[in-house]
Amino acid sequence: MKLLGDATRIAAAEQAAALLANVGVSLDGLCRMAAHLLSAPMAALMVVEGCQEQHLGSQGLPPGLVEATCRPLADSWGACVIGDARVVAAADLSADSDHVLHGHPLAGHGVTALLGVPVRDSDGRPVAALLAFDVQPRHWSDEEALVLIEIAELLTASVWAATGNRCLQVGLDSAALLDSVQEAFIAVDPVGIIRGFNRAAQEMFGYSAAQMCGQSLQEALAPQYGTEPITAALQRLFAARPRRPVRREVSMRHRDGHRISSRAALSVVNGTAGDIAAVFLTDLTAEAAAQQTARRQARFLTALLDSLSVGVIACDDTGRITVMNRALRQVHHHPEVGPVPDNLPTIGSTSVFDTAMRPLAWDQMPVMRAWRGEHLTDVDVLVQVPDERVRTFAATAQPIVGEGGNRLGAVAVAHEVTAQRSTERFRDCHQEIQKTLRGTDSIVEAAPAVLRAVTAALGWPCAELFIVDDDGATLRAVGHYHRDGINPEGFFGHTPIKGRGITGRVWQTGQPLWVPDVGAYTALTTDYERQRVEICTREGIRTILAVPVRDGGTLLGVLTCYAATLEVHEDLLIVLLDGIAAQIAVYVALRRAEELARQLARAQDDFLDLIGHEMRTPLTAITANVGLLAEDVTGLDEEQQQMLDTVTRNTAALRHIVDALLDLSALESGHRQLHLAPVDLSAITDAAVTNVRLTAANAGIRLHTAIHYPVLVTGDTGRLRQVIDDLLSNAVKYSPAGAEVHLSLSIDDQHAELRVTDTGIGIPDTDRGRVYDRFFRAGNVRHHGTVGSGLGLSLARTIVRLHGGTIALAANQPAGTTVCVRLPSADTAS
């Protein structure tokens, strides 16, 4: 700052002030040029002569500052530039670290940013300062500082190189400066003659400066400015002499004939030759082409987005929605073309919900969350507009970031997953219903929980389950559910009429029935049906779906579900509800089978009681009396004797059946226990073989044995002998003369195996699965005429199972049967 008080510099400054005041150059025009080239609202030229600063020229300064042409050094604008003879740049005076600039008085007049360069005399002494100001914080570039330095050097060359008398023909010695400017510049006098044409203008229009200077602007470049000639616009410009550049868009002709669109900044500068219109031109051709390309791309992007089946929404960097494609507009019933509704935040929050059906605030919408920087993937949102079903959309959203990392906006894409989510909910519904059915003993007990799961999966308010009574004549309501916990009068619990109404029609046809709008369903015409429609309409029901509950070809009931909105996806929902109805049908059929089994068990017990108490006593009396008669046959003739033998034989057979049946029942019920002990199965088998050999020989059947000794098992000797006797007896009984019976007994570390194989009549494949049933006898046995009770194998299997073993029958090729009994060995059993 010591240069400010230097006497030599002060003398040079006083001389410079006098020269600049009389140089004939418009110093305000130079400041206007500086402000324009730097796109700054204000500029000024100041000289510091000693203890004060003098204002020589300005552009855009507030009136209070313009009127004060001299000010004390303490308030100086240029002292900081001249004192250090350097370029000074301040982006924000209120925050500058330089104590001279920080809190500068200029800040009180609205000035925020400052750029200043020194103006020197011919000896290089800083005598003045050229400054540009801005009202917003601003970082000045090196290129902007260079422009201000070139203007300052122009002043130096114009004043001191020729003591104020050598100027350009337009009064501005600025050719070098203007040629360095990237914008095209044309100087025009008041009659429209071109007086200046810089290098950028030559490149823009294809003419040299020598070709254009002295030519009429109208004839040379044919400017188009609205509908009036350019001369009229120039006359108004010279008359008004605006303080700020006037900006207009004009079209001019290139040398090759094509038109060039440009943006013109016009101002009036006073020179030695008079007033000159300074016209700076910015070529808009590239900008127009870019805009056209942008419009074309925008149309392409709009068409592309509108062709998508997914919804797309995007916002700009301020969070304002700028894009909403046709698919998303259709979802919300917005106009398919035109601007995005301004009240979209209000509209959206009344129709968009989270998965718990709570209204979604606008700032929680996926696109808004992405605008704040979140990345979202497949976030479910629910949409419901009035009188329509709830639809589920999976939204993916992310911010849009520029190359420098700055956020440009956000975009969200939503695709409908209503059907997919319904399928997932029904899968969970199946599992919940299965759990419910496993934990209940009757369909009446299970119905409320089952229907609650069904309505939750559907998203519908209520449902009802009907079951056909055992007689098949009545369809009875066994349960209902309403999500609001209410029971509207007359809605639930009615008794359907077969073939009437929706439930009744499904009962009659056994086919699902979908009614999209019950109020408009014309097939319901009877008084009963109209009454049901009135009740449904009163409760706000729109769509009804009823599906049959079937077990194979048997109709067991009807599942009827009610929706409060018009629903779609008929086929999907029918398939899903059919699956649930099948679960219910299996449960109902199983419970009925179990009840039937219990009834049969009770009938069997009653039958056994009948045999045990009502038949066994008479049989005992008959047997005793027949025995007495048999002891005294002297009074009987031969025929009577035969009759007595027949009674004796059949009484014994009947007594054997009764005893076997009671024995089997007692073993199965646990009333009769086995007497288990270590036994040698080979010894038991030997005894059984010895007992049957004579019978086999008399029948002409060869008996072969292969017995391992010893075979130790844990068992009841009498019961095991009973099994072996019965198997050998059957093998001999059902084999013709000449046949063979093979018996083998073996043992390994785990099991003892008894195998009896015959070459007899065998067992048909269709009957093999029932041979263990009580009283069952294969068809070929019944036709063969061999007597039997049908209890032998039932009793044998029960005894083997009580020993922890297994018994199995298989065909013996080419004829006969093989029976295999496997029992745990003694070590294993222990």
What are the structure tokens assigned to 269, written together?
């500068």
Query: Cis (ω within 30 of 0) for the bond into 814?
Result: yes
**Stretch 94-101: mean pLDDT:** 78
3-class secondary structure, 140: coil
* Residue 335 token pair: 């106009």
**Fold of the 417-671 domain:** Beta-Lactamase (3.30.450)
Exposed (0-12), middle (13-18) or buried (19+): which is 808, by Cβ within 10 Å?
exposed
Expressed in angstroms, the distance from the first to the final Cα of the chain is 116
Give start-end residues of each CATH 3.30.450.40 domain in the chain.
2-160, 417-671
Per-residue pLDDT at 165 exceeds 90: no
* 273 has pLDDT over 70: no
3-state SS class at 355: coil
pLDDT of the residue at 614: 67
- Assign 3-state DSSP to the chain and report helix, strand, coil percentages, each to 5: 45, 25, 30
Average confidence score pLDDT of the chain: 84
Residues 63 and 732: their CA atoms lie apart, in Å, by 137
User: What's the pLDDT tens digit per position in 394-440?
Assistant: 999 999 998 778 889 999 999 999 888 888 888 899 999 999 998 89
d(CA 516, CA 571): 12
Tens of pLDDT, residues 115-144: 999 988 777 788 888 999 998 899 998 888
Is residue 782 pLDDT above 60, yes or no? no
The answer on pLDDT for 161 being more than 50 is no
State the pairing for strand pair 751-758/817-824.
Answer: antiparallel
* pLDDT on residue 24: 55
Please report the pLDDT score of residue 704 as a whole number: 94
H helices within 439-467, ranges in order? 443-458
Q: What pTM, to 2 d.p., does this model score?
A: 0.46
pLDDT at 160: 55
* Beta-sheet strand order (sheet of 194-197): 194-197, 184-188, 274-283, 259-271, 246-253
Q: What is the DSSP string of 177-196?
A: HHHH-SSEEEEE-TTSBEEE
pLDDT of residue 183: 83
pLDDT reading at 170 higher than 70: no
Distance of alpha carbon 807 from alpha carbon 787, whole angstroms? 23
Could you give the CA distance from residue 826 to residue 830 in angstroms, rounded to a whole number? 6
Average pLDDT (272-282) is 81
For residue 369, pLDDT over 70 is answered with yes
| Residue 173 confidence (pLDDT) | 46
So what's the pLDDT on residue 609? 67
pLDDT score recorded for residue 162: 39
745 has pLDDT over 90: yes
**CATH tag for 2-160 (out of 3.30.2130.10, 3.20.20.150, 3.40.50.2000, 3.30.450.40):** 3.30.450.40
Tokens encoding 726: 């019965």
Give CATH 3.30.450.20 domain extents, the chain: 175-283, 289-416
Q: Which residue has the higher pLDDT, 200 or 570?
A: 200
Using alpha carbons, select from 459, 428, 431 the residue that is nearest to residue 573.
459
Residue 686 pLDDT > 80: yes
Q: What is the pLDDT of residue 806?
A: 93
- On the question of pLDDT at 51 being above 80, the answer is no
Q: How far apart are CA 572 and CA 583, in angstroms?
A: 17
Cα distance between residue 247 and residue 283, in whole Å: 13
Which two three-digit tokens encode residue 810? 């298989």
* Residues of the chain above pLDDT 90, percent: 38
Nearest to 538, CA basis, from 561, 516, 518: 518
CATH class of 677-829: alpha beta
pLDDT at residue 378, rounded to an integer: 93
Segment of 168-182, 290-304, 741-755 carrying the highest mean pLDDT: 741-755
Burial 500-518 (b: 16+ CB within 10 A, else e): bbbbbbbbeeeebbebeeb
pLDDT tens for each residue of 436-482? 998 898 999 999 999 999 999 888 999 999 999 987 889 999 999 99
pLDDT at site 97: 78
Distance of CA 191 to the CA centre of its chain: 72
CATH of domain 289-416: 3.30.450.20
Residue-wise pLDDT tens digits, 485-524 = 999 999 999 999 999 999 999 999 999 999 999 989 989 9
pLDDT at 220: 93
Contact 47, 60 (CB under 8 A): no
Percentage, residues of the chain above pLDDT 70: 89
Residue 681 predicted with pLDDT over 90 = yes
Number of Cβ within 10 Å of residue 734's Cβ equals 21
Whether 583 has a pLDDT exceeding 50, the answer reads: yes
Residue 593 has pLDDT above 60, yes or no: yes
The whole-number pLDDT of residue 168 equals 35
What is the arithmetic mean of pLDDT over 182-186?
86
Q: Does domain 175-283 have CATH number 3.30.420.40?
A: no
Q: Which of 39-53, 73-87, 335-349, 775-789 has the highest mean pLDDT?
A: 39-53
| pLDDT the model gives residue 151 | 85
Write the DSSP symbol of residue 610: I
Region 321-336 average pLDDT: 91
- Residue 280 half-sphere exposure, CB side, CA atoms within 13 Å? 20
**Which run of H or of E encompasses 786?**
none
